[in-house]
Amino acid sequence: MEHHLSYEEQLLLFKERGMQGIEPDTADFEKQLNTLKIIGYYKLKQYSYTFLNRKSLKYEEIQFNDLVKDIIGINN
């Protein structure tokens, strides 16, 4: 039987791979979890692909919240 990562594990996987601005035990983390539930891991991964260093397989210079703003079209 396949093991599926929980939403928290998915979000922490982004952090482990270098995505910035993901800090457990903060109010923002709960908002980020809700965002992940709505948008989905694979959609976020698709949009973040341009920030992925293909050699190190780490994200570079991308904040989770900025990525989400870009996806939903909110300008800073």
* Residues 25 and 39 sit within 8 Å (Cβ to Cβ): no
Q: What is the pLDDT of residues 11-66, one digit of tens each?
A: 999 999 999 999 999 999 999 999 999 999 999 999 999 999 999 999 999 999 99
Structural domain includes residue 51: yes
Structural domain includes residue 32: yes
Structural domain includes residue 1: no
pLDDT value of position 43: 95
pLDDT value of position 74: 64
pLDDT value of position 76: 43
Structural domain includes residue 2: no
Total number of domains constituting the chain: 1
pLDDT value of position 75: 53
- Shortest CA distance to 36 belongs to which of 56, 18, 12, 55? 12
- Strands 58-59 and 52-53, how do they pair? antiparallel
Amino acid in the structure at residue 23 = E
Structural domain includes residue 35: yes
Task: Provide the domain limits for residue 18.
Answer: 7-72
pLDDT range class, residue 73, cuts 50, 70, 90: confident
